[in-house]
């Protein structure tokens, strides 16, 4: 293979979502800074997915688009520079930016993809599925294959928790060009139905004490992420250390 024939990082990342055995989903650790990103990459993760909630915490902001867009994209860029594996970015609901600017800023940061949510971070209400699908179509047209889009479906977070609604939204977003759909907090018993009806690979959230990534994969998930739970574990350890040090001071 010549250099010009070598696949790009986004092509490699997109390919990781397809042709996977049921018990071998794509597992993406969720870094929040360069140190955590290097640790995950050195541990053997083939790709990483930033956590907006974790990045917000380390930057001193609350989750839910409280982090200024400039600071979020700068944090993503630092993570990308720190590792040699593909990095996809959690950019919440897009910070009010138009699809063209979102694409430009993601590419400038070096990301190979992104998460985009279908709820309003201010009101906590679901967006109209049709209008959101149109917006995703516009985003994908601007991306022109240069980004892997993971469309988050928030029906189990803010909606009626009806699996049929989650399947319908997932399929609509897949038809709009999403490479993967993410029905966050979907009960594990719904994963087979979601996988069968979504029309795209399904991202599942692995929670502490819940099914393992392999188990989630066997239930139908193609891609596994951990959200901000990994950072929560580190923050808890730091708090324990601080308490220990203060007791000895």
pLDDT at 4: 55
The parent domain of residue 195 ranges over 8-248
Asked whether the predicted pLDDT for residue 167 surpasses 60, the reply is: yes
Q: Residue 164 domain-assigned? A: yes
Is 222 contained in some domain? yes
Residue 1 lies in a domain: no
pLDDT digits (tens, 9 = 90+) for 174-192: 999 999 999 999 999 999 9
User: What is the pLDDT of the chain when averaged over all its residues?
Assistant: 96
Q: Is residue 72 part of a domain?
A: yes
Is 2 a member of any domain? no
Residues 6+ apart with CB under 8 A from 16: 26, 46, 47
Residue 176 lies in a domain: yes
- Statement: the pTM of the whole predicted model exceeds 0.85: yes
pLDDT digits (tens, 9 = 90+) for 52-108: 999 999 999 999 999 999 999 999 999 999 999 999 999 999 999 999 999 999 999
Greatest alpha-carbon pair distance for the chain in Å reads: 61
pLDDT band at 249 (very low <50, low <70, confident <90, very high): confident
In a domain? residue 57 = yes
Per-residue burial over 31-43, b if 16 or more Cβ lie within 10 Å, else e, is: bbbeebbeebbee
Q: Quote the pLDDT of residue 240.
A: 95
CA distance 75 to 204: 24
- The yes-or-no verdict on residue 2 having pLDDT over 70 is no
CA distance 180 to 56: 24
Predicted pLDDT of residue 7: 85
> Tokens 């294959």 sit at which residue?
145
CATH number at 104 reads 3.20.20.60
Does residue 225 carry a pLDDT above 70?
yes
pLDDT band at 20 (very low <50, low <70, confident <90, very high): very high
Mean pLDDT, range 131-145, rounded to an integer: 98
Tokens representing 82 are: 């720190």
Structural domains of the chain, count: 1
Say whether pLDDT at 3 is over 50. no
- Tell me phi and psi for residue 110, to 5 degrees: 95, 10
Q: What is the pLDDT of residue 176?
A: 98
CA-to-CA separations, 4 to 8, 96, 131, in angstroms, rounded: 10, 37, 39
Residue 238 lies in a domain: yes
């Amino acid at each position: 293979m010549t250099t010009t024939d070598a696949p790009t990082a986004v092509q490699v990342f997109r390919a990781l979502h397809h042709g996977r055995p049921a018990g071998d989903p794509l597992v993406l650790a969720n870094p929040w800074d360069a140190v955590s990103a290097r640790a995950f990459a050195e541990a053997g993760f083939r790709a990483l997915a930033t956590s907006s909630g974790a990045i917000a915490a380390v930057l001193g902001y609350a989750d839910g688009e409280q982090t200024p867009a400039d600071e979020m994209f700068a944090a993503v860029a630092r993570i990308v520079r720190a590792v040699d594996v593909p990095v996809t970015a959690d950019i919440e609901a897009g910070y009010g930016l138009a699809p063209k600017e979102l694409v430009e800023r993601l590419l400038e940061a070096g990301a190979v993809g992104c998460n985009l949510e279908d709820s309003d971070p201010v009101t906590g209400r679901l967006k109209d599925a049709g209008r959101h699908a149109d917006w995703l179509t516009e985003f994908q047209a601007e991306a022109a294959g240069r980004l892997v889009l993971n469309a988050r479906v928030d029906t189990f977070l803010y909606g009626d928790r009806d699996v049929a609604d989650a399947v319908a939204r997932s399929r609509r977003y897949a038809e709009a060009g999403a490479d993967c759909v993410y029905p966050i907090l979907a009960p594990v018993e719904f994963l087979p139905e979601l996988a069968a009806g979504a029309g795209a690979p399904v991202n599942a959230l692995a929670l502490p004490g819940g099914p393992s990534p392999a188990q989630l994969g066997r239930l139908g998930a193609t891609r596994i992420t951990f959200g901000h739970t990994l950072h929560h574990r580190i923050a808890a350890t730091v708090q324990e250390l601080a308490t220990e040090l203060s007791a000895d001071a």
